[in-house]
Amino acid sequence: MNNVKTVYKKSEGLTDKYMTYCPGCTHGVIHKIVAEVLVELDVLDRTIGISSVGCSVLNYDFFNCDMQQAAHGRAPAVATGIKRVRPNSIIFTYQGDGDLASIGIAEAIHAAHRGENITIVFVNNAIYGMTGGQMAPTTLIGQKTTTSPNGRDAKTQGLPLRIAEMMATIPGATYIERVSVHNPQHVRKAKKALMKAFTIQKENKGFTLIEFISTCPVNWGMTPKDAVDWAVDNMIPYYPLGVFKDATVGEEK
Amino acid sequence: MSKVLMKGNEAMALAAIKAGCEAFYGYPITPQNELPEYLSKHMALHGRVFVQAESEVAAINMVYGAAGAGARVLTSSSSPGIALKQEGISYMAGAELPAVIINVMRGGPGLGGIQPSQADYKQITRGGGNGDYYLYALAPETLQEAVDLIKEAFDIADYYRNPVMIAVDGLIGQMMEPVDLDREVPKWDLTPKTWVADGNRKNRERNVINSLYLDPNDLENHNLHLKEKFDDMRKNHQRYELVNMKNAEIAIVAYGSVSRIARTAIEILAEQGIKCGILRPITLFPYPKKAFHALPKTVKDLLVVEMSTGQMLEDVKLSNECHLPVHFFGRVGGIIPEAQEIVDKVLEIVGGEKHE
């Protein structure tokens, strides 16, 4: 079998633990590309990941690096605490939309505001997944959840919060991009965005946040295929993809 | 070393620097502001970290992060701010992270006031946040004692891998006293922090800092492991002082600033021929139960004096096991009891209820 060569293998940035995510959820893909970027940048040994509260709470078991589990919404504060005493480490938080856009919005804003040299991986699936499908700040108008059974109503429940756009207005932020992982082409684009963000951190250039459009087939009540289609048809029009802030533009190489 | 005249909050801040504190994360609140203000200047001069957080909640979670990365870390606040920090304190107890927390207590409930108080006693001694845990809690009565205990507190926190609280009232934070910052304090036997998640793992497996145990069997075992630490504190590290107990017929139980006022009260009482001692808890947790067994047989009454409506009474009654009558005098809302008020209460007790 001299002709056998490895063309693909699981990233060394991931452990061998079975992931706890539901079929059709995009957390697995996002974990994979985060892990690959950490390996490709050769920073895995000095990386500390911060797990948040939500579906990804157990990802301290999945990422093959030092990990610290944070209270609900507080991951950017925990990241700040670590980065200030261990400035040579690479720090990422991994947060859902309930964690970051709701209970942890102050911590996210102020980490950006202080220009903390950390990377936030923000996964937006427009719902609280872990707790069983309640309305999130990012839930779309008309979207039915267990706490908006008649569909989200802007009059009483407000309009969905656009995190990437909002974070881009913060002077201290360096790089903000929204990506999606609904097909291989976008997975590659998303990985490029992560590469950009972690490279900025590695070069001590400040705060970066990558927002991922994600799916929740179980709590959306859809098949995995329908969930992907729903994200493309409904989420991306309201949450457009792209770079919302890049303070490194124009820098001399 | 010579003594220097310093304000309480600043002396406590300098004590933390002397103890090797690497990072401070806090949020402004009266009456402890001089502490972070001092550190904002002096931590930088020592090449250490000072961050003014966006809230107490963020500050304590920064402490959690830095402690998980192996740093000696401090936060300070006052009562309403300490209430906000309970989330992170509970997480630190759960994840077994060391940190020192200084609470310069003010009156409550709610926004309360900014004058001295001891109304956080229950919160301090019952854990404070969610779950089954305790803080090692020290209540100094002088600046010298505060400085010495803060220096030792970092060792205690590292030894137990548990948060340690320094509980002072606003009076100690705000007053000036001569203090020697270089006094020797007991050194604890510490082992290297092999458990840290500091992103420096060339020669070790990855570490995880976590308080989540979804399997109830695991969580029960974890809770029992934590209990062993708290039982060890109870068994081996109660601290107290007995003052003027020889032939005392009554003992005042008081801690912090109140015990200093009690010292004046017992002098006045001595002039009137009444022998009154002081039982001063130095650890609020573990509560110094042993002190009650050490009382001389001549003591017939206990008088608890606090700047609260009697939050320590239960601990005194439980420690005393209903052996002696327990009386109470307290001032609240930021009012500091006067020595003469304590004297009058003692006279009322010994005069009204003679013990032969």
**Residue B202: which pLDDT band, with cuts at 50, 70 and 90?**
confident
Q: Is A12 on the interface with B (CB under 8 A)?
A: no
pLDDT at B204 over 70: yes
Q: What is the pLDDT of residue B355?
A: 43
Q: What is the pLDDT of residue B352?
A: 52
What lies within 8 Å, CB to CB, of A214 at 6+ separation is: A25, A26, A27, A30, A123, A124, A125, A181, A231
Interface ipTM > 0.90: yes
Domain boundaries, chain A: 27-145+157-246
Name the residue among B57, B65, B199 with its Cβ closest to that of A81.
B65
A77–B59 CB contact, under 8 Å = yes
Q: Is B130 on the interface with A (CB under 8 A)?
A: no
pLDDT tens per residue across span B102-128: 999 999 999 999 999 999 999 999 999
Domain boundaries, chain B: 4-236, 240-352
Q: What is the pLDDT of residue A147?
A: 97
pLDDT tens per residue across span A28-77: 999 999 999 999 999 999 999 999 999 999 999 999 999 999 999 999 99
Alpha helices in B126-255 (DSSP H): 143-160, 170-174, 216-236
Task: Pick the closest to residue A83 from A245, A230, A191, A206 (CA basis).
Answer: A206
Closest-CA residue of chain A to B25: A81
* B164: phi then psi, degrees, rounded to nearest 5: -115, 135
**Residue A253: which pLDDT band, with cuts at 50, 70 and 90?**
low
**Residue B203: which pLDDT band, with cuts at 50, 70 and 90?**
confident
Q: d(Cα B61, Cα B92) in Å, to the nearest integer? A: 9
**Residue A239: which pLDDT band, with cuts at 50, 70 and 90?**
very high
Cis ω before B296 (30° cut-off from 0): no
Find the Cα–Cα–Cα–Cα dihedral B280, B108, A106, B16, rounded to 10°.
-20
A67–B208 CB contact, under 8 Å = yes
Between chain A and chain B, how many beta carbons pairs sit less than 8 Å apart? 141
Q: d(Cα A37, Cα A190) in Å, to the nearest integer? A: 11
Q: d(Cα A217, Cα A228) in Å, to the nearest integer? A: 8
pLDDT at A252 over 90: no
Q: d(Cα A145, Cα B305) in Å, to the nearest integer? A: 55
Q: What is the mean pLDDT of residues A148-167?
A: 98
Q: d(Cα B282, Cα B55) in Å, to the nearest integer? A: 30
Which chain A residues touch B53 with a CB distance below 8 Å? Answer: 77, 80, 110
Which chain B residues touch A74 with a CB distance below 8 Å? Answer: 57-58, 61, 64, 87-88
A81–B69 CB contact, under 8 Å = yes
Selected for mutation to probe chain B from A39, A48, A61, A63 (highest B CB count within 10 Å) is A48
**The two structure tokens encoding residue B38:** 């001092």
- Containing B18, the helix (H) or strand (E) segment is helix B8-18
Q: What is the mean pLDDT of residues B325-346?
A: 97
B58–A50 CB contact, under 8 Å = no
B65–A68 CB contact, under 8 Å = yes
Closest-CA residue of chain B to A83: B66
Q: Is A78 on the interface with B (CB under 8 A)?
A: yes
Q: What is the mean pLDDT of residues A152-171?
A: 98
**Residue B1: which pLDDT band, with cuts at 50, 70 and 90?**
low
Mean per-residue pLDDT of chain B: 96
Q: What is the mean pLDDT of residues A1-26?
A: 92
Q: What is the mean pLDDT of residues B191-200?
A: 96
* DSSP designation for B203: T
Closest-CA residue of chain A to B65: A78
**Residue B353: which pLDDT band, with cuts at 50, 70 and 90?**
very low
Give the other-Cβ count within 10 Å of B45's Cβ: 8
CATH code assigned to B240-352: 3.40.50.920
Q: What is the mean pLDDT of residues B91-103?
A: 98
Q: d(Cα B255, Cα B32) in Å, to the nearest integer? A: 19
Give the other-Cβ count within 10 Å of B25's Cβ: 30
Question: Which position has the token pair 């079929």?
Answer: A23
In angstroms, the separation between the Cα of residue A39 and the nearest Cα of chain B is 14
B58–A106 CB contact, under 8 Å = yes
pLDDT tens per residue across span A197-219: 999 999 999 999 999 999 999 99
Q: d(Cα A124, Cα A113) in Å, to the nearest integer? A: 21
Which chain A residues touch B63 with a CB distance below 8 Å? Answer: 81
Q: Is A34 on the interface with B (CB under 8 A)?
A: no
pLDDT at B279 over 60: yes
With contact defined as beta carbons under 8 Å apart, do B140 and B225 qualify?
A: no
B202–A45 CB contact, under 8 Å = yes
A106–B211 CB contact, under 8 Å = no
Task: Pick the closest to residue B157 from B16, B352, B31, B326 (CA basis).
Answer: B16
Q: What is the mean pLDDT of residues A163-192?
A: 98
Cis ω before B286 (30° cut-off from 0): yes
Closest-CA residue of chain A to B72: A85
Q: d(Cα B166, Cα B284) in Å, to the nearest integer? A: 10
The listed CATH number (2.60.120.330, 3.40.50.970, 2.40.30.10, 1.10.3720.10) that belongs to domain A27-145+157-246: 3.40.50.970
pTM beyond cutoff 0.90: yes
pLDDT at B356 over 90: no
Q: d(Cα B323, Cα B85) in Å, to the nearest integer? A: 38
* Domain B4-236 is found in CATH 3.40.50.970: yes
Q: Percent of chain B having pLDDT more than 90?
A: 96
With contact defined as beta carbons under 8 Å apart, do B279 and B295 qualify?
A: yes
Which chain A residues touch B211 with a CB distance below 8 Å? Answer: 69
Q: Is A45 on the interface with B (CB under 8 A)?
A: yes
Q: Is A106 on the interface with B (CB under 8 A)?
A: yes
Q: Is A77 on the interface with B (CB under 8 A)?
A: yes
CA distances B292 to B29, B236, B299, B304, B324, Å, are: 36, 16, 10, 13, 10
